[in-house]
Amino acid sequence: MPFVKIVGQEEMKLALLLNVVDPRIGGVLIMGDRGTGKSVAVRSLAELLPQLEVVADDPFNSSPTDASLMGQDALARARAGEDLPVAQAPTPLVELPLGATEDRICGTIDIERALQEGIKAFEPGLLARCNRGILYVDEVNLLDDGIVDLILDSAAGGVNTVEREGISVVHPAKFIMIGSGNPSEGELRPQLLDRFGLSVQVFTLPDIKQRVTLVLDRLLFEQDPDGFVADSEAEQEALRQRLRKAQEALPNIEIDREVRLRISEACSLLDVDGIRGDIVTNRTAAALAAYEGRNEVTLEDVSRIIGLCLGHRLRKDPLDQIDGGAKVKLAWQRVTNPKAAEAAAEERKQAEAEEKKAKEAKAKSQQKGGSWGGLPGRR
């Protein structure tokens, strides 16, 4: 299914595209109901990514020019002055199976061969395959926490280290980490939530026209996949070019000091632990400005993405009636427009009071005559 034909779910699509513009954002966590297009969007994203120049027959997708993206073998050959053979390869999209073990993910070292032949016989894992690409973990909330932590450590550091019996192998593992799951099946620990750059909540489309459009497109795609993809190619190519221009423009995007101060003030107001939220918000706002063809980040840019950056980093309060994203937007409004925030807070209090009175009146009307109404002053 072409990415441009996914209807609705604008926040999810924007979060994915901004990670393509700047992979340093730190990936996306997509949580939502079944059948809301999470997996379809991630898999179709790979079709927008450019072909990579890689060292031919290299298991790590090593870059022929960038030493930081080379495996140990390619790096040794480059330092020895060898001309590395270059090949074109699609940007990898690697899906992590639920039952994957640590060895399958990180790779293993053949100890017997290492002792007998004196060489590091390394069997690359999934982290080697997804270097310079995307690692997609469906049902991330059902994975063992240790496995998720291991993957996120590699994503943050950009390298994977495998150590067995005193033998160590290090290889590059720079990838965009995307996780998805159904919140009704379990939540991630706060420490792991904080490691994802952006977080998005997706829901079943309520708009009937959007639902019909999506259903018809899906049926057409199933009837003639090649023809449907060919008809969408012009839009797909336009989006590829837009992403390429945004990546080129990103280093020149300016963020005014006042905007940075407002971001940190909002993080402080929300009591966000650490400064990862501040950094991600700055990077995401810059990526948005680049994606939309502007040279400078505005407060409006930040207001559009700050909920994605901070909503999952807030401390959970089971008695809180509003979700993290709404709380972040209220805090941002309080930082940038205090008067409007006060008015909105007052309206919210009045609405809650009216709702409470309505519930009490309904309960009183349903109460049978002669029944106990509670202690005085407790009603």
- Catalytic center residues: 276
Q: How far apart are CA 246 and CA 111, in angstroms?
A: 46
Residue type, 145: D
CA atoms within 13 A on the CB side of 335: 24
Secondary structure element (H or E) that encloses residue 133, with its range: strand 133-137
Distance CA 156, CA 195 (A): 8
Cα distances (Å, whole numbers) of residue 178 to 181, 231, 267, 295, 333: 10, 28, 24, 28, 29
Q: What is the CA radius of gyration of the chain?
A: 25
At residue 248, φ and ψ (nearest 5 deg) are -70, -35
Instruction: Please give the backbone phi and psi of residue 351, each rounded to the nearest 5 degrees, phi first.
Output: -65, -40
CA angle at 57 for the pair 52 and 62, rounded to the nearest 5°: 45
User: For residues 2-15, b (16+ Cβ closer than 10 Å) or e, as one string?
Assistant: bbbbbbbbebbbbb
41 Cβ neighbours under 8 A, 6+ residues apart: 3, 6, 9, 12, 13, 16, 30
Taking alpha carbons only, the member of 84, 48, 93 closest to residue 66 is 84
Instruction: Decide: helix, strand or coil at residue 30.
Output: strand
The answer to whether the Cα torsion of 112, 115, 118, 120 is positive or negative is positive
